[in-house]
C-alpha cells in the first residue's frame, strides 16, 4: 500500500475537504454540504480515476499551495478558471498531473470562478462526521478545513500516469439564471416580481458556502409577514428585511422564517456558485416541469462527459483532428 503525504503551505479561507454530501439529515438541522460546484467535483474524480463521490479538496478563491513530501500521487484540478503550476511550470487550465516528493503545487484563482476541485488519486484521509467526509464550514465538522501547516495523507496513492493530461471542459449554460417562483412569491407585489425577473443583480462580498447575498433592485415584502419558520432547500432565494435576495447554497441553514420569492433550479446551481463578488446576473422564471427537464438534460450531458473522460485523456493528435472537424480548420500537420 503506497501512501502520499502533502504539506499545506498556504490555503485560502474556506478551503475544505468535501465528498458527495451528507444526505438525509435535513430534518435534524444538518445540510448536505458537499461541493459548491458538483459537476466540477464529479469530473475531477472521474478524470483521475477515483470512484464517484470520493473525498477531494475544494479550493477557494484564496488559492492553495501544497508540497509533496512523500509518495507519488496523480491529481486532477477542475473548476472555474483556476490555474495551477508545479514548481513554477504552468499546467494548462483543467488538467491532471502528478506530484512527486519535493514538488510544489500552486493553485490560483484565474479569470473567473470561485471554487475548484482538487481530486487526488487514492483515498484522502479525513474524518467522518455523521457518516460523511463533507465539511460543514461554519462548524468545521466533517472532513475538515484545510489550513496552512496541515498534513494531508492519501492512502493507496497512485500516479495514474494513463490519466495525466488536459481535461475537457464541461460546457455550462450561459445567460439568465433560471428560477421557479415560490413558495412565497405571493408575499411580493407584481412589480417586485417583475423587478426580480428584469433587473440586473450583482453578487455582494457577503458570500460563502452558506449562500450568496445579491444586490439589485430592492425586493420589498408586500404582505405584513408573520411566517412560521419552514424548511429551506439548496437554491432557495430568500429575502430578508433589507430587501436583498440571498441564494442558499451547500451549507445552507435547513429552516428559516424569511419568505422565499423563488428557488434557483438545480441545473444552474453549479454555475451560480462559480460567480464572484461583483459579477452581474439576471433571472428568468420557468415552471417546475421545465426545471425537471433541464435537470435531466444536464445530468445526461454530464454523464456523457464523464464517460468520455473515463476513457482517459485524448492524445494531442486526436484533439487537433476533433478541433478541425468542429471548426472546419485544415489540419496544420497534414495540410
Q: Single out the residue of 90, 147, 288, 329 in contact with other proteins (rule: CB under 8 A).
A: 288
Q: Nearest distance from residue 202's CB to other proteins, in Å?
A: 22
Q: Is 265 in the site for other proteins (CB under 8 A)?
A: yes
Helix axes 38-48, 288-310, angle to 10 degrees: 20
- Closest alpha carbon to 30 in 39, 18, 21: 21
The stretch near other proteins (CB under 8 A) out of 4-12, 198-206, 273-281, 286-294 is 286-294
Residue 28 in contact with other proteins, rule: CB under 8 A:
yes
Residue 139 makes contact with other proteins by CB under 8 A = yes
Task: Kindly indicate which of the ranges 68-76, 83-91, 252-260, 308-316 contains the residues binding other proteins, using the contact rule CB under 8 A.
Answer: 252-260
Please say whether the dihedral angle defined by the alpha carbons of residues 241, 242, 247 and 250, taken in this order, is positive or negative: negative
By the 10 Å C-beta count (0-12 exposed, 13-18 middle, 19+ buried), 88 is classed as: exposed
- The answer to whether 273 touches 249, Cβ cutoff 8 Å, is yes
Among 8, 96, 177, 264, which residue sits at the site for other proteins (rule: CB under 8 A)? 264
Out of 41, 115, 129, 258, point to the residue binding other proteins (CB under 8 A). 129
233 binds other proteins (CB under 8 A): yes
Q: Closest CB to other proteins among 127 and 205?
A: 127
Query: According to CB under 8 A, which residues from 158 to 187 bind other proteins?
Result: 180, 182-183
Report the residue from 287, 307, 318, 331 that binds other proteins according to the rule CB under 8 A.
287
Kindly tell me which residue out of 78, 236, 247, 273 binds other proteins, with binding defined by CB under 8 A: 236
The answer to whether 290 touches 298, Cβ cutoff 8 Å, is no
Stretch that binds other proteins, among 27-35, 36-44, 118-126, 324-332 (CB under 8 A): 27-35
Which of residues 200, 255, 317, 323 is near other proteins by CB under 8 A? 255
Q: Which residues contact 108 (CB under 8 A, 6 or more apart)?
A: 63, 82, 83, 84
Among 5, 86, 125, 294, indicate the residue that binds other proteins (CB under 8 A): 294
Q: To the nearest whole angstrom, how small is the minimum distance from the Cβ of residue 224 to other proteins?
A: 13
Residue 243 makes CB contacts below 8 A (sequence gap 6+) with 218, 219, 220, 221
Distance, C-alpha 253 to centroid of its chain: 18
DSSP codes, 116-165: EEEEESSEE----BTTB---BTTTTBSS-B--TT-EEEEET----GGG-E
Alpha-carbon torsion angle 200, 206, 212, 218, nearest 10: -40
Query: Candidates 42-50, 103-111, 165-173, 261-269 — which segment interacts with other proteins by CB under 8 A?
Result: 261-269
The residue range among 106-114, 147-155, 231-239, 327-335 that interacts with other proteins, by the rule CB under 8 A, is 231-239
Please tell me whether residue 24 binds other proteins under the rule CB under 8 A.
Answer: yes
Half-sphere exposure of 98 (CA within 13 A, CB side): 14
**Torsion sign (Cα): 94, 42, 206, 139:** negative
| Helix ranges (DSSP H) in 29-91 | 38-48
For residue 163, give Cα distances in angstroms to 49, 83, 310, 312. 7, 18, 9, 5
Min CB(305)–other proteins separation in Å: 16
How many residues bind other proteins (CB under 8 A)? The answer is 45
Q: Which residues bind other proteins (CB under 8 A)?
A: 23-30, 129-130, 136, 138-139, 141, 180, 182-183, 226-231, 233, 235-236, 253-256, 260, 263-267, 287-289, 291-292, 294-296, 299
Amino acid at each position: 500500500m503506497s501512501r502520499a503525504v502533502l504539506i499545506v503551505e498556504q490555503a485560502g479561507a474556506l478551503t475544505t475537504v468535501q465528498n458527495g454530501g451528507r444526505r438525509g439529515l435535513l430534518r435534524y438541522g444538518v445540510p448536505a454540504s458537499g461541493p459548491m460546484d458538483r459537476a466540477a467535483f464529479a469530473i475531477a474524480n472521474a478524470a483521475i480515476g477515483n470512484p464517484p463521490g470520493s473525498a477531494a479538496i475544494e479550493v477557494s478563491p484564496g488559492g492553495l499551495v501544497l508540497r509533496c513530501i512523500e509518495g507519488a500521487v496523480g491529481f486532477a484540478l477542475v473548476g472555474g478558471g483556476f490555474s495551477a503550476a508545479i514548481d513554477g511550470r504552468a499546467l494548462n487550465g483543467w488538467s491532471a498531473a502528478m506530484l512527486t516528493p519535493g514538488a510544489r503545487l500552486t493553485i490560483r484563482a484565474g479569470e473567473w470562478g470561485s471554487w475548484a476541485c482538487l481530486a487526488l488519486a487514492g483515498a484522502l484521509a479525513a474524518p467522518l462526521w455523521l457518516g460523511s467526509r463533507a465539511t460543514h464550514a461554519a462548524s468545521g465538522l466533517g472532513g475538515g478545513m484545510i489550513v496552512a501547516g496541515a498534513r494531508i495523507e492519501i492512502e493507496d496513492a497512485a500516479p495514474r500516469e494513463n490519466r495525466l493530461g488536459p481535461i475537457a471542459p464541461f460546457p455550462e449554460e450561459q445567460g439568465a439564471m433560471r428560477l421557479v417562483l415560490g413558495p412565497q412569491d405571493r408575499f411580493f407585489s407584481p412589480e417586485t416580481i417583475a423587478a426580480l425577473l428584469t433587473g440586473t443583480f450583482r453578487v455582494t462580498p457577503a458570500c460563502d458556502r452558506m449562500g450568496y447575498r445579491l444586490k439589485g433592485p430592492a425586493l420589498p415584502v408586500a404582505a405584513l409577514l408573520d411566517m412560521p419558520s419552514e424548511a429551506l432547500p439548496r437554491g432557495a432565494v430568500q429575502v430578508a428585511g433589507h430587501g436583498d435576495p440571498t441564494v442558499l447554497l451547500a451549507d445552507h441553514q435547513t429552516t428559516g422564517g424569511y419568505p422565499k420569492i423563488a428557488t434557483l433550479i438545480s441545473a444552474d446551481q453549479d454555475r451560480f456558485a462559480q460567480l464572484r463578488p461583483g459579477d452581474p446576473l439576471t433571472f428568468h422564471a420557468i415552471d417546475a416541469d421545465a426545471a425537471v427537464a433541464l435537470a435531466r438534460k444536464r445530468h445526461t450531458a454530464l454523464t456523457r462527459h464523464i464517460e468520455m473522460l473515463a476513457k482517459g485523456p485524448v492524445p494531442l493528435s486526436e484533439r487537433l483532428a476533433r478541433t478541425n472537424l468542429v471548426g472546419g480548420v485544415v489540419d496544420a500537420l497534414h495540410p
